[in-house]
Chains A and B, each alone.
Chain A
Amino acid sequence: MTAVSFIDWASLVALVLLTLALLVSVVRIIIGPTLGDRVLALDLMTVVAMGFIGAIAVRTGLTLYLDIAIALALLGFLATIAFARYILRRAGRDAQ
């Protein structure tokens, strides 16, 4: 097998695995049961989506996708921080 066709197969396998990972994390978003669990699953989903974009970058050879992947990682991090602060604030409000 040549290196190029190996990369072709590897990226296809990776895309299948990452698709499964996305689907499985959606299960946790649906069943919850708490807000924290859903935020956690969403955070994992952005990391998996970042991996997905990376795999597409490898498959197509368009390295511009890499910048999108890094931007997505940044977005996921900020979203999780905002959600964590929201959970804290809501807990503080309920306590009062």
Chain B
Amino acid sequence: MIADLALYLGGVLLVAGAAFSLLAAIGVVRLPDLYTRLHAASKAGAVGGGLVLLAVALVSQDAAVSIRAVIGVLFLIMTTPVSAHLLARAAYIAGYPFWSNTVQNDLEVEPNKIPPHQ
């Protein structure tokens, strides 16, 4: 009974994760500039991938596999914001333009920075 419940829940999480991944991809195509696209890719992408891994953990019904899947989710949650942040920072320093309707930009107040690590 409990095992069946885990299977049903796993199936729901699997479809939800796949749907979030698809929405992240649609967002990356539809949003107007790199910085807004990063929002879609980092949040919806991480949740999509994480939900699929959680589904694997539930469906496998094996403690060793579940622990590995949960560690995979933790890894994903820890690394996705780092890569999004690095990409946003690199794009800003390289001078990639913001969308013309950006309502406020405090970064432009700062004088141009020279990229470190050179």
Describe B's contact surface by its main secondary structure.
Answer: helix
Would A21 and B34 count as touching, CB distance under 8 A? no
Would A55 and B65 count as touching, CB distance under 8 A? no
Would A18 and B68 count as touching, CB distance under 8 A? no
* Given known A-B contacts A6-B8, A58-B10, A70-B68, A36 and B55 have beta carbons under 8 A apart: no
Provide the residues of chain B in CB contact with A81, threshold 8 Å: 82-83, 86
Q: How many A-B residue pairs have CB under 8 A?
A: 196
Provide the residues of chain A in CB contact with B11, threshold 8 Å: 6-7, 9-11
Instruction: Give the interface centre of A6, A18, A51, A63 by most chain B CB atoms within 10 Å.
Output: A51
Provide the residues of chain B in CB contact with A91, threshold 8 Å: 90, 93-95, 115
Question: A3-B4, A7-B7, A88-B93 known; 18 other A-B pairs, CB under 8 Å?
Answer: A7-B10, A10-B15, A21-B24, A21-B48, A22-B25, A34-B34, A36-B90, A40-B87, A41-B28, A47-B41, A47-B45, A54-B17, A66-B65, A66-B69, A83-B87, A84-B90, A88-B90, A89-B115
Q: Which of A58, A77, A80 contacts B14 (CB 8 A)?
A: A58
Would A28 and B45 count as touching, CB distance under 8 A? no
Would B25 and A21 count as touching, CB distance under 8 A? yes
Would A58 and B95 count as touching, CB distance under 8 A? no
| Interface mask (B1-33 → A, CB under 8 Å = 1, otherwise 0) | 001100110111011011101101110110000
CA distance A86 to B63 in the complex (A): 41
CB distance from A47 to the nearest CB of B (A): 4
Would A20 and B22 count as touching, CB distance under 8 A? yes
Q: Which of A27, A47, A95 contacts B29 (CB 8 A)?
A: A27
CB distance from A13 to the nearest CB of B (A): 5
Would B75 and A74 count as touching, CB distance under 8 A? yes
